[in-house]
Amino acid sequence: MPDHYRTLGVSPDATLAEIKKRYRALARECHPDVAQTKEAEERFREINEAYRVLSDAERRKLYDAELKLAEMRRRASSRSAPPPPRSATSYGASEAPRPQPERRVPPVEALLMQATHAFRRMRYREAEMLCRQVMRLDRRNSAAYELLGDILRARGRADEAVAIYSYALQLDPYNRTIQAKFDRLVGRPSGPRMSGTAARAARSTAARLWEPRGYSVRPANALVTGMSLAAIAFLIITTFLDKTPPAPSGWILEWSPGILFALSASGALAGLTLAINGFLARCREELSTHRAVRGRQAPVPLGAVLLGFDALFFYAAFLAYVFVGYLRESLSPSILAAFGVSFTITALFALVSHAAALYVLLFGGNIVFMAFIVGWFVGDVFRAAT
């Protein structure tokens, strides 16, 4: 396996900025137009491949996991190497050398490799099952805990992912990659030594912060949820009782203030309710990051892309997200929920909009989805405060 870190001349814990800076310097030195040799061309190809992997967060994560597996195999091979041949004076010169049995990959390493490949292909259930098999065989395998945390986070089970990352930190307390993942979910630094009581306290705090509130009996949450649902129902009934066409055309600026307020308020209340009850991951985590696509870092945050498309056409925003998710090989359950709930609210208002139903169904989602994002963000703030 090629060592991409050595190819670029950076350390395994180098930041993306350091990797980019080093890549630009090497690209200028080894570009075929500058050094017109066969070796320079091959070197330039290796540099590009290394940068393609290390500049993409997901590719780098998988590459680091494969490096760990390769190192584990190397250590296992050195431990199981055959002893040096014994002298003929001790055992007789006529003794023929015994054939060494073919070394097989240890089952733990093989299972972990299969889990990594399954995770890469978004077969999350299979990857989780394989990870848990590894943990049954080797309870101190930090790589298995880290990968399981990645799987749980990808499946939207953030509270369980926090607990798993915490166990991984106990087993490998100086692993910066695991610490960064843990910190992003918990929202505060974990420190270089995370074990024992500190780890249990962090897991407890994170679980309280990100638990699925829908199954808890919190008076504040119940009050906000009840009031939000009642308000949305009231707005739908009010729209139904209003006999004047709320949307005379597809141009939103010509719509009545009543339908604009009803769609905006309903979207915001829906986002707020789902966020405070723990059904959505953190809005900033989902929308404010520059997601990498096919080895290239996205120039703008995902949220800006979605809101930009949504300002033009709600359904175009959804198709754009599906396309970006295909390129990234992952889709966020929280963002899909935002689209689904926004469409449901839009459809309900279209049903009660009489002759303007088609206009509301086509263009009402522009308003609802944007308001949903605002409510989602406010819900995160409320949730953290409580």
| Per-residue pLDDT reduced to its tens digit, 8-23 | 888 888 888 888 888 8
Q: How many angstroms separate the CA atoms of 181 and 126, rounded?
A: 22
- To which H or E segment does residue 207 belong? helix 196-210
Percent of the chain, pLDDT > 70? 76
CA atoms lying within 13 Å on the CB side of residue 103: 12
Does domain 4-78+106-210 bear CATH number 1.25.40.10?
Answer: yes
Q: Please check the confidence at residue 89 and state whether its pLDDT lies above 70.
A: no
| Residues with Cβ within 8 Å of residue 20, at least 6 apart in sequence | 55
Long-range contacts of 148-151 (CB under 8 A, 24+ apart): 149/178, 149/181, 150/61, 150/119, 150/181, 151/119, 151/124, 151/127
The conformation of residue 296, written as its DSSP 8-state character, comes to: E
Mean of per-residue pLDDT scores for the chain: 79
pLDDT confidence of residue 354: 85
Give the pLDDT of residue 18: 86
Compute CA 235 distance to the chain's CA centroid, rounded to the nearest angstrom: 35
Q: What are phi and psi of 288, to 5 degrees?
A: -90, -5
Distance in angstroms (rounded) separating the CA atoms of residues 368 and 261: 10
* Contact indicator for 116, 147 with CB cutoff of 8 Å: yes
Average pLDDT of the segment spanning 347-358? 92
* Mean pLDDT computed over 326-342: 83
Residue 204 has pLDDT above 80, yes or no: no
Is 109's pLDDT higher than 80?
yes
Give the amino acid at 247: A
Q: What is the pLDDT of residues 220-230, one digit of tens each?
A: 788 889 999 99
Residue identified by tokens 């049954």 is 136
Nearest residue to 199 (alpha-carbon basis) of 207, 128, 153, 155: 207
CB under 8 Å to 161, separation ≥6 — which residues? 149, 150, 152, 153, 181, 185
Residue 84: pLDDT band by 50, 70, 90 thresholds? low
Most confident of 71-85, 183-197, 255-269: 255-269
Residue 160 pLDDT grade (very low, low, confident, very high; cuts 50, 70, 90): confident
What is the C-alpha to C-alpha distance for residues 299 and 75, in angstroms, rounded to an integer? 41
Residue 296: the pLDDT is: 45
Q: Over the range 279-292, which residues count as b (16 or more CB within 10 Å of their CB) and which as e?
A: bbbbbebbbeeebb
3-state helix, strand, coil in the chain (%, to 5): 70, 0, 25
How far is CA 97 from its chain centroid? 53
pLDDT of residue 368: 97
- Residue scoring higher pLDDT (200 or 366): 366
Are 255 and 353 spatial neighbours (Cβ–Cβ below 8 Å)? no
Q: Which residue has the higher pLDDT, 219 or 95?
A: 219
Sequence spans of domains, the chain: 4-78+106-210, 213-385
Give me the half-sphere count of Cα atoms (radius 13 Å) on the Cβ side of residue 193: 2
Say whether 237 sits in a helix, a strand or coil.
helix
Statement: the pTM of the whole predicted model exceeds 0.85: no
Q: How many angstroms separate the CA atoms of 144 and 182, rounded?
A: 15
Would you state the structure tokens that stand for residue 244, as one six-digit string?
């004047």
Does 10 or 293 have the greater pLDDT score? 10
For the chain, percent of residues with pLDDT exceeding 90: 25
